[in-house]
Amino acid sequence: MTIHLGYGGSIEIARESAGQRLSFELCSDDVNVAERRFSVDFDYSLLRTGDRVAIQTTDRQNLQLLDQHEYPDALCYVHVDEAGGIRLYRKFFDALNGDKSKALPLMRPLQKRQITFDLYSNDFRCLAQVQDYEFTTTRSAIDITKLGDEFRESYANGLIAGQGTATCFWDYKYSTCGDGIGPESELPHYLAQLILRTQLGSSFLGKFFLHRPTNKDEGKEDFLFYEARCIITNCVMAINPSEPVMTKVDFITTGEFKLKSGIVDEYLLQESGDKVLQEDESGILLEA
């Protein structure tokens, strides 16, 4: 019998906002070229630093926001500061840091533009500072005696649902997950922000690992994890004297709930280590 001592457990999450759209009017005075920063006329709290957005005009004309940008749309990561100002970045961690020198240069539009932000799902990232997590899967029993024959086969086995909790050391600054082989990190601070996102929903895609390699030399070892779309229902901040600040989130699952095993997705990389991207900015998976 194989015994796992808990070292393999971890969580990866992907920001799940596909299909959501925000609209606003962009004026010349909204853009500060020197600061590489612009403002919007909707509640800026709807966007979170690190969100990936596709920006375009409603009439599909030239965007006139990014300097030397000839296309009617752009795919960027956003940094939202305390005053609601927005900077745009090509890379996720540049957006987290909000460094002005790495922000994309902007230009003032020649006239008012109606702009839309379409939120895109991000790649999976390791949730940093996880202390523990647990989840429960249940199957609902369904009375099928009154259903017609055409529906009985679909519903005889019931529906699977899940719920769980995760506890993390609360952090709002960048830190790695620590195993050295996982993907980029997502901070627990994002989960505390996510539950406040009432208009766009507080959902994320989650991978809950039961076992994973613990060092780079075991990179070919099989992974074992649950995968599900989750909605945060409760977020607790625990503050005690002389102890680290803790975050505890409760979540429920929606849609399919899968137990997967095998090697996680691997992507074709450039010499720099960045992914080779397709036209939709998604990575190219390596064939097994």
194 φ/ψ angles, rounded to the nearest 5 degrees? -65, -40
Per-residue pLDDT of 104-154, as tens digits, reads 999 998 888 888 888 887 788 888 788 888 888 877 665 556 655 555 555
| Structure-model confidence comparison of residues 285 and 76, the more confident one | 76
Bridge partners for 167 per DSSP: 132, 248
Average of per-residue pLDDT across 188-217: 72
The angle formed by the CA atoms of residues 88, 94 and 99, to the nearest 5 degrees, is: 80
| Structure-model confidence comparison of residues 274 and 76, the more confident one | 76
> How much of the chain is in helix, strand and coil states, percent to nearest 5?
10, 40, 45
- Per DSSP, 246 falls in state E
Confidence class of residue 38 from pLDDT cuts 50, 70 and 90?
very high
Cα–Cα distance for residue pair 235/282, rounded to 1 Å: 31
Average of per-residue pLDDT across 67-84: 85
- Percent of the chain beyond pLDDT 70? 68
Cα–Cα distance for residue pair 195/262, rounded to 1 Å: 32
Q: Where are the alpha helices (DSSP H) in the chain?
A: 92-97, 149-155, 188-194
Average of per-residue pLDDT across 88-116: 89
Q: State yes or no: pLDDT of 287 exceeds 50.
A: no
| Structure-model confidence comparison of residues 43 and 64, the more confident one | 64
Per-residue pLDDT of 201-215, as tens digits, reads 678 889 888 877 655
C-alpha dist (Å) from residue 245 to 131, 170, 217, 248: 12, 6, 34, 10
| Structure-model confidence comparison of residues 176 and 161, the more confident one | 161
Sheet containing 20-26, strands listed edge to edge, beginning at the edge strand earlier in sequence: 20-26, 113-120, 52-57, 73-80, 86-89, 37-38, 31-32
The pLDDT of residue 37: 94
The pLDDT of residue 81: 87
Q: State yes or no: pLDDT of 158 exceeds 60.
A: no
19-23, 93-97, 105-109, 223-227: range with lowest mean pLDDT: 19-23
Q: Are 205 and 16 in contact (CB under 8 A)?
A: yes
- Domains identified in the chain and CATH numbers: 10-15+124-262 (2.30.110), 20-120 (2.40.30)
- C-alpha dihedral (37, 41, 42, 48), degrees to nearest 10: 0
The pLDDT of residue 270: 53
